[in-house]
Amino acid sequence: MKLSIVNITEKINTHIDQISPYDPGKPIEAVAEYYGIDANDIIKLASNESALGVSPAAVKAIRNNAELCFRYPEGSAHKLRIKIAKKFDVLPDQIIMGNGSNEILTFIGHCFMNSETSTVSSEHSFAVYKMITELYDARSIQVPMTKDLVLDIYKMVDAIESDTSVIFICNPNNPTGTMIKNKDLESAIEKIPEDVLVVIDEAYAEIALETMPESMRYVAEKTNVIICRTFSKAYGLAGLRLGYGMGPVNLIQALQKARQPFNVNLIAQIAGTAAIDDDEFVDQSKRVYRDAKLYMEELCNDLNLNYIPTTTNFMLIKVGNGAEVAEQLLKKGIIVRSMNGYDLPEYIRVTFGMPKENQKFIKTLRELLK
Ligand SMILES: Cc1ncc(COP(=O)(O)O)c(C=O)c1O
């Protein structure tokens, strides 16, 4: 057999080759194996998942419908879109479903980004915005935050250039947990040119601990605004991958062209349809997060650690060398996220868990910092 001397990877589009892969953090099984810890003793507070697990309404629906999996799902998730439409008082045609809300971001990339465009986002904001921008060979303009690590929405608007096609507003922002105020969002949206797509990523809206800005009105009033939401956080369906975008009909129609025919699986559609009515689960989650926030803040004060006051289910704690502390916690079976990738090396990001998990985290952190 003749050996090939061609390295196939040399044929990869250069802009793709240069992308740094997303770091999803270590899964429980990997930590258990690597550090020789029983998986049941490991606490994962790293991916802003639901502390309470899956919405019980969704669990019931998943169990009751397992035997339907031999069928392809309904392509556009019609039933679920009708439910979401009713909830937000929009038309089903104003909604597009994604394999997680991340997939909505790729539809936006397909439609709005290329090597002659740029996107604007905040420098310490959800890493996927920059990744998607680079995936489509567009240029990412990263804007500094305020000193309190809140999105500097006015600076972001000022950063828009003539080739900018998309601006990403993450609210509440991951990883800082901070929220922009209604009046700031309002005046920013008024200033953004109408030929720039405004993506308001509200992944944490349902579990937000403060009143969210009235963003839905922009979907009704503006031609260039899309709101992204997810079932991953508030409903505990991160593993099923289910998210959606809401915007004007013509925009959604265009995004639909970038969608694979059966992108949202059948069980995710069924689980989402049940979960969206599970207000009790969401209310209970919020109570847990509110208590967790109070507890964590109090204990951080005790330990003389600075933190960023959060408006959602995770918080940034300033520990000095974030990567080192995260690694030490990992060895003790506690998975949190170091913030090197977000250029906040002094911090760790901790997702709120149930009280026992939070207590164990704080106890271990206290021991480590001694
Ligand atoms: C701000 C933000 N947007 C989107 C996502 C991804 O959501 P999904 O699981 O629906 O893809 C996350 C997940 O961490 C997030 O923090």
CATH topology match: 17-46+280-369 vs 56-275: no
| CA 234 to ligand 1 center in whole angstroms | 11
Domain chopping of the chain, boundaries: 17-46+280-369, 56-275
Name the residue with the closest Cα to ligand 1, atom 12: 203
Distance CA 245, CA 105 (A): 9
Fold classification of 56-275 is: Aspartate Aminotransferase; domain 2 (3.40.640)
Summary mean pLDDT of the chain: 96
Instruction: Please report which confidence band the pLDDT of residue 5 belongs to, taking 50, 70 and 90 as the band edges.
Output: confident
Residue range 165-204, pLDDT digits in tens: 999 999 999 999 999 999 999 999 999 999 999 999 999 9
| CA 101 to ligand 1 center in whole angstroms | 6
| CA 183 to ligand 1 center in whole angstroms | 25
Residue range 248-300, pLDDT digits in tens: 999 999 999 999 999 999 999 999 999 999 999 999 999 999 999 999 999 99
Residues near ligand 1 with C-beta < 6 Å?
Answer: 48, 100-102, 126, 170, 174, 201, 203, 230, 232, 238, 243
Fold classification of 17-46+280-369 is: Aspartate Aminotransferase, domain 1 (3.90.1150)
Strand partners, 139: 118
| CA 203 to ligand 1 center in whole angstroms | 6
Instruction: Please report which confidence band the pLDDT of residue 19 belongs to, taking 50, 70 and 90 as the band edges.
Output: confident
278 C-beta neighbours (distance < 10 Å), count: 21
pTM: 0.96
pLDDT given for residue 18 in this prediction: 86
Distance CA 257, CA 68 (A): 27
Closest ligand 1 atom to Cα of 173? 1
- Pocket residue to mutate for ligand 1, from 23, 96, 201, 230, most atoms within 8 A of Cβ: 230
Distance CA 370, CA 364 (A): 10
